Amino acid sequence: VAGALWTAHLVACMWFALGKYAPQDTGTGWLDVELAHKGEQVTFKESSALLQYVTALHWAFAQCTLGAMEISASNTAERIFAVMCMLFGLLVGSSVISMLSATLMEHMVARRERTRQTQALRQYLDDNQVNGNLSARVRNQVQRRLRQRGIVTQEDLPCLDLLSSTLRDELQSEVCLPYLRKHTLFGLVSCLDERSLVKVCAKAVRFVYPRIHDDLFVA
């Protein structure tokens, strides 16, 4: 919103400057348009600075959003600028609509997938005649976790398989080393021989992200 207001402000300032300072091959500009003021006909050039600015800002919003307004271009310079603003509004508007549509579609697909999984789970519990108390607990936990945003792990990124083994090990050590160094023993190993600790990260460390009510240790 702030970006849109700032852009409209800049366009309004340029539009006002065109009306006041640009060469007028037709002998008139948008500031020469007359309007009724206290029963008299006056031009925008003769009106207050606040009315001039608000009118220019209104025109800027109308052009950038492909809207309509009573003020229009009166000479070649103003018309060229108006065409450029309309093209800008068309491009930006199309981009914004595309992004909103893509976001909405992604949200709908994710919601449809959650609904499908929930329905499949309910059918599974009913088919196997799971008692009501346990069935409710299972459904509640699944629904709660489906709504949660999970942590992205390496298993979620198959594109990492495209990396060379050296670069993949370097990435793994970059992620793991800060955690290992917090341990006294590994902190000492890091000071004495960091290469060995890098090998440990690459070959012997795997992240596990337990959720609420998960069992950490099972006998």
Helical spans, DSSP H, in 128-180: 132-147, 165-180
Query: What's residue 132's pLDDT?
Result: 87
List, for residues 27-44, the tens digit of each pLDDT value.
Answer: 888 888 888 777 788 888
Record the pTM: 0.54
Cα separation, 109 vs 179, in Å, equals 36
* Strand pairing report for 40-43 and 34-37: antiparallel
In this model, does residue 119 exceed pLDDT 80? Answer: yes
**Distance of alpha carbon 216 from alpha carbon 219, whole angstroms:** 10
3 state SS of 36: strand
The angle subtended at Cα 216 by Cα 211 and Cα 155, nearest 5°, is 55
In this prediction, residues 159-174 reach a mean pLDDT of: 87
Q: Are 33 and 22 in contact (CB under 8 A)?
A: no
Mean pLDDT, range 119-127, rounded to an integer: 91
